[in-house]
Amino acid sequence: MYPEEELRCITGEAKSAWVKKGATLSDKSARKEFGLTQEEIVEAINDGKLQYRINIIFGNPYFKLVRSEVEAFVDEKYGSNYLKNKKNKKELAQVYKELKRLKAHVAI
């Protein structure tokens, strides 16, 4: 085991949501995926409803948020149907996109 892995195991960070693939998302992704505004995200952070870390990519800072907390926040703020409708619309859009791709493939 490498020293970094030992340290993560000791601190429990290896099991944390911060290091699991897909368990976090950026504030920009949260805005796009859940229809939140930047003001709503900052307000939720200030109220202690969302945990965050500041990451920097190519010199640009952004908030890294825990996906399950964002989902819980959206569920609390807009209701459970809002989240279900968003997911259904996203899935339907993916189906239409795949259908369009297949129609184009058949036409060739």
How many structural domains comprise the chain? 1
Q: How high is the pLDDT of residue 22? A: 87
Q: Which pTM was predicted? A: 0.70
In a domain, 23, yes or no: yes
In a domain, 12, yes or no: yes
CB of 27 closer than 8 Å to CB of 51: no
Q: How high is the pLDDT of residue 12? A: 58
DSSP type of residue 50: S
Q: Which domain holds residue 45?
A: 3-79
Examine the pLDDT at 14 and tell me if it is beyond 60: no
pLDDT 10s digits, 43-78: 999 999 999 999 999 999 999 999 999 999 999 999
What Rg value do the Cα atoms of the chain yield, rounded?
Answer: 18
Rounded to the nearest integer, the mean pLDDT of the chain is 87
